[in-house]
Amino acid sequence: MASLSDVRAEIVERLALIDNVTATPEKPKVQTGFSAWPVWVSRAPLTYCKFRDEWDVYLVVPGTNLLSANEHIDGVLDDLMAVLIDLGDVVTCGPADLDSDGGTNGLLAIRARLVTTS
């Protein structure tokens, strides 16, 4: 059984393979265009020794709204899916607004829900 730390490290390693992406094991204090990181969401038992883990994987794209970010999303979405599919099942993928204060500071991202087994 792989630890959560091991799986997180593997996700970060794969994200770093995408051109122009800066991958970190946790949300950076300052996110910029093409920052990426995984967030562990949940764990459920599959069998006595196997677990199903869910991860939200974020990749920030430049742009102040979804329309202006679409060009960047189009350029990186296939690469993101390709590296994540090697790790498990991508069950959803879509836009995420990372703006916690309700303003518009350009923090738009792709959020992919990745399911891994360990």
Angstrom distance (rounded) from CA 13 to CA 25: 9
The ranges assigned to domains in the chain are 4-117
Residues in the chain: 118
Return the CATH superfamily for domain 4-117: Phage minor tail protein U (3.30.70.1700)
Q: Which of 26-40, 76-90, 92-106 has the lowest mean pLDDT?
A: 92-106
Residue 38: strand pairing partners: 57
The pLDDT tens digits for 45-94 are 888 888 899 999 999 988 766 677 787 888 899 999 999 999 999 999 99
Angstrom distance (rounded) from CA 21 to CA 14: 10
